[in-house]
C-alpha cells in the first residue's frame, strides 16, 4: 500500500512552510506551455519552476472536473471518494483538505472554482444537523471561501464578482453573459460566448476586469491582508475552460497558424473501439473534427493561458515583495487537460495524454528542498498527491488510513520514499451521464472505464467491451489501439492485474486509523476479556 511518509523532521531548517498556495487551472494541458516545450510562452511559470520541481509526468485520476477535483481535495481515488462525475454529491463520510486544515486551525480559503456539491439529501436523510458556521463549510466541501466562483453560469445576485462587474460599469442583469463571455459581432449584434464561432472575438470585459485578473487581484489583496498570519489559499482559475472567450488583447495574440495541429490520424476513425467511437459522435467531437473549429478555438485557449501566466507574474512579484515566496508551499496544476480535436474528440474525459496529463510544479520552501530547485522530475504524480503533500509540509497528521496519495516532498527533498516511488498511474471514467452511454445503449451502472499507465503502456479496461492498449514508446501519439493484438497478450494480462491490485487494495476501511488497527490486532482477550478457542 502507498503511505504518506512524513518528510519534515524538525532539523533546524531556517525556511519552513507557513503558508500554502494551491493554484489550479481548469482544462490546461501540459504540452501547450513553453514550460513543457510547447508554443505558449510561460515565463512566469518557468520562473516558478526554477524555485521548485517541475513534474513531467503528472496525471489526473479522472479527466473530468468533478471527480478530478475531488481527488485533488480528498487525496483519494475516484472509486474511493465516489464522486465519479460532475455534481455528484460527496458522500457524508469523506473528508477534505479543508476539513484537515480547518481542524489544525488553518482555514483553507478559496478563490474560484471547486465544482463541489454537498450531499444535502444524504444529510437530511440521516437527520444530521449542523450549526450555521459548520453548515457553511459543509456546503463548500470544507473550503472557507473568500469567493466561490465556478464560472460557467451567471453569478448570483449579490455575489462579489457580479457586484465588482457592476461597480466597474458593466450594466444590466447579466454582466457575465453580456460582458465576460459576451462579444459583439462585426455588425454590432450580440455574439454569444457559448458558440465557438465567436471565440476569437474579444470579450466585452476589459482584461483587468476579466475572471483571471479579478481572481488574481483578490489573491494579491488576500495575501497582503494576511500580513504575517499564516494562510492557506486555493486559487482556482476558471480558464482556459469554456466558455472560450478572452478579453483583448489576449483574444488576438495568437492566430490559427500559431497553434498545434490536433494529434489525430484517419485510422482512428476506422472501426474504433466502441466507447471511443461513441465519444467521436459527441457534439463537441463532431465540432472539433472540423478544422475551422480547432483553428478558431486553440488560439483563444493560448491567449487565455498567456493571460494566466501574466497574472501569475503579478502575484509572484507581489509575494516576493512581501517575502511570502520564501515561506509558502506553492503548488501549480490543472484539473485535467483538453483534447480540442486530438483523436477526433473535443473536451476531455477520454484517457488520451492530452486529457490526462497536466502541468505540475511544487515549490517547497524548506532548505531540505534546495538541492532539487529547478529540477525536472520524471516520477509519476497523481491528483491524490496534493493533500498528502500539503499535510506533510505543515507537519500535520497524514491520515494514512484514508489518504491514498503520496507526499511529493519525498521528491523535492529526495527522501528514502523517493527511491520506492510508484511506477504507474491510474484513472477512472464513469460515462453514465454522457450521451455516449445512450449511443451504446447501456444502463447508468454499466459505464466504467479503468486506466493504468506506466512508462511504456497505457491499458484501459472498459466494462462490457474489450480493452484498449497503447504502446507509448512505439506509438507516442496513441493512434494504434493494440487492445486485441495477440502479440501483446502478456502485456495486457500484466496491466489488467495491476488494475485488479489497485481496485482491491484501495483504502476501503477508513473509519479506523492504522494505529487503531494495530492496537486491536489479536487483542480480543486483552481489550474485551474475550477468550476464544481456549481449552
State which of positions 361-400 bind a copy of itself (CB under 8 A). Answer: none
State which of positions 245-274 bind a copy of itself (CB under 8 A). Answer: none
87 binds a copy of itself (CB under 8 A): yes
CA 68, chain centre distance (Å): 5
Q: Which is nearer to a copy of itself, 285 or 412 (CB)?
A: 285
State which of positions 449-468 bind a copy of itself (CB under 8 A). Answer: 450, 461, 463
Residue with cell 497553434: 259
- Region near a copy of itself per CB under 8 A, out of 163-171, 290-298, 304-312, 465-473: 290-298
To a copy of itself, the closest distance from the beta carbon of 102 in angstroms equals: 10
Q: Which is nearer to a copy of itself, 102 or 202 (CB)?
A: 102
The helix-helix angle for 386-393 and 65-74 (nearest 10°) equals 30
287 binds a copy of itself (CB under 8 A): yes
State which of positions 7-66 bind a copy of itself (CB under 8 A). Answer: none
Q: Cis peptide leading into 249, omega within 30 of 0?
A: yes
Phi, psi for 50 (deg, rounded to 5): -65, -25
Which residue in the set 84, 210, 216, 354 belongs to the binding site for a copy of itself (CB under 8 A)?
84
C-beta separation of 102 from 72 below 8 A: no
518 binds a copy of itself (CB under 8 A): yes
According to DSSP, residue 40 is labeled: B
CB contact set of 190 (below 8 Å; sequence gap of 6+): 178, 182, 183, 184
The three cell numbers of residue 453 are 499507465
291 binds a copy of itself (CB under 8 A): no
438 binds a copy of itself (CB under 8 A): yes
To a copy of itself, the closest distance from the beta carbon of 448 in angstroms equals: 6
To a copy of itself, the closest distance from the beta carbon of 213 in angstroms equals: 23
* CA gap 251, 231 in Å, rounded: 34
- Region near a copy of itself per CB under 8 A, out of 189-197, 220-228, 327-335, 467-475: 189-197
* CA gap 246, 402 in Å, rounded: 40
Q: Which is nearer to a copy of itself, 491 or 514 (CB)?
A: 514
Number of residues in contact with a copy of itself, rule: CB under 8 A?
93
Residue with cell 447501456: 442
Q: Which is nearer to a copy of itself, 99 or 268 (CB)?
A: 99
130 binds a copy of itself (CB under 8 A): yes
Give kind and range of the element (H or E) at residue 410.
helix 409-412
To a copy of itself, the closest distance from the beta carbon of 259 in angstroms equals: 17
Is the backbone of residue 395 left (phi > 0), alpha (psi -120 to 50) or beta?
A: left
Three-state secondary-structure class, residue 388: helix
CB contact set of 501 (below 8 Å; sequence gap of 6+): none
To a copy of itself, the closest distance from the beta carbon of 331 in angstroms equals: 25
To a copy of itself, the closest distance from the beta carbon of 46 in angstroms equals: 31
Phi, psi for 452 (deg, rounded to 5): -130, 135
- Region near a copy of itself per CB under 8 A, out of 160-168, 229-237, 359-367, 512-520: 512-520
242 binds a copy of itself (CB under 8 A): yes
Amino acid at each position: 500500500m502507498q503511505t504518506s511518509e512524513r518528510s519534515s523532521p524538525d532539523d533546524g531548517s531556517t525556511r519552513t512552510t507557513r503558508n500554502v498556495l494551491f493554484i489550479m487551472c481548469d482544462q490546461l494541458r501540459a504540452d501547450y506551455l513553453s514550460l513543457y516545450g510547447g508554443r505558449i510562452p510561460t515565463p512566469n511559470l518557468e520562473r516558478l519552476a526554477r524555485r521548485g520541481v517541475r513534474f513531467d509526468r503528472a496525471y489526473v485520476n479522472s479527466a473530468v472536473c468533478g471527480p478530478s477535483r475531488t481527488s485533488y481535495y480528498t487525496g483519494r481515488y475516484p472509486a474511493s471518494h465516489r464522486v465519479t462525475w460532475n455534481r455528484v454529491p460527496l458522500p457524508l463520510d469523506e473528508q477534505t483538505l479543508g476539513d484537515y486544515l480547518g481542524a489544525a486551525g488553518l482555514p483553507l480559503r478559496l478563490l474560484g472554482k471547486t465544482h463541489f456539491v454537498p450531499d444535502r439529501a444524504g444529510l437530511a436523510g440521516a437527520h444530521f444537523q449542523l450549526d450555521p458556521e459548520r453548515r457553511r463549510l459543509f456546503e463548500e466541501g470544507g473550503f472557507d471561501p473568500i469567493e466561490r466562483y465556478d464560472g460557467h453560469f451567471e453569478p448570483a445576485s449579490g455575489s462579489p464578482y457580479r457586484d465588482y462587474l457592476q461597480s466597474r460599469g458593466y450594466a444590466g442583469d447579466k454582466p457575465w453573459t453580456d460582458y465576460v463571455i459576451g462579444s459583439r459581432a462585426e455588425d454590432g449584434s450580440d455574439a454569444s460566448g457559448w458558440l465557438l464561432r465567436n471565440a476569437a472575438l474579444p470579450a466585452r470585459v476589459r482584461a483587468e476586469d476579466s475572471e483571471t485578473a479579478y481572481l488574481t487581484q483578490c489573491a494579491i489583496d488576500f495575501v497582503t491582508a494576511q500580513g504575517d498570519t499564516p494562510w492557506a489559499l486555493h486559487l482556482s482559475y476558471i480558464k482556459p475552460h469554456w466558455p472560450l472567450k478572452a478579453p483583448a488583447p489576449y483574444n488576438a495574440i495568437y492566430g490559427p497558424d500559431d497553434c498545434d495541429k490536433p494529434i489525430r490520424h484517419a485510422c482512428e476513425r476506422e472501426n474504433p473501439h466502441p466507447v471511443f467511437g461513441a465519444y467521436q459522435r459527441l457534439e463537441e467531437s463532431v465540432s472539433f473534427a472540423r478544422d475551422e473549429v480547432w483553428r478558431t478555438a486553440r488560439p483563444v485557449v493560448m491567449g487565455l493561458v498567456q493571460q494566466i501566466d501574466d497574472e501569475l507574474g503579478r502575484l509572484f512579484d507581489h509575494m516576493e515583495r512581501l517575502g511570502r515566496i520564501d515561506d509558502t508551499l506553492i503548488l501549480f496544476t490543472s484539473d485535467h487537460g483538453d483534447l480540442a480535436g486530438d483523436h477526433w474528440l473535443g473536451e476531455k474525459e477520454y484517457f488520451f495524454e492530452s486529457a490526462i496529463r497536466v502541468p505540475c510544479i511544487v515549490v517547497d520552501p524548506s532548505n531540505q528542498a534546495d538541492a532539487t530547485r529547478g529540477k525536472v522530475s520524471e516520477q509519476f504524480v497523481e491528483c491524490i498527491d496534493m493533500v498528502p503533500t500539503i499535510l506533510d509540509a505543515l507537519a500535520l497528521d497524514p491520515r494514512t488510513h484514508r489518504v491514498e496519495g503520496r507526499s511529493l516532498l519525498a521528491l523535492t527533498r529526495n527522501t528514502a520514499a523517493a527511491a520506492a516511488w510508484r511506477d504507474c498511474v491510474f484513472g477512472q471514467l464513469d460515462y453514465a451521464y454522457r450521451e455516449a452511454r445512450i449511443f451504446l445503449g447501456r444502463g447508468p451502472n454499466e459505464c466504467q472505464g479503468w486506466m493504468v499507465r506506466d512508462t511504456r503502456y497505457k491499458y484501459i479496461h472498459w466494462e462490457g467491451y474489450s480493452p484498449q492498449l497503447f504502446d507509448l514508446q512505439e506509438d507516442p501519439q496513441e493512434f494504434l489501439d493494440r487492445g486485441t493484438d495477440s502479440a501483446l497478450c502478456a502485456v495486457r494480462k500484466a496491466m489488467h492485474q495491476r488494475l485488479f491490485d489497485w481496485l482491491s487494495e484501495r483504502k476501503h476501511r477508513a473509519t479506523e486509523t492504522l494505529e487503531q488497527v494495530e492496537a486491536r490486532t489479536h487483542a480480543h482477550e486483552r481489550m474485551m476479556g474475550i477468550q476464544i478457542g481456549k481449552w
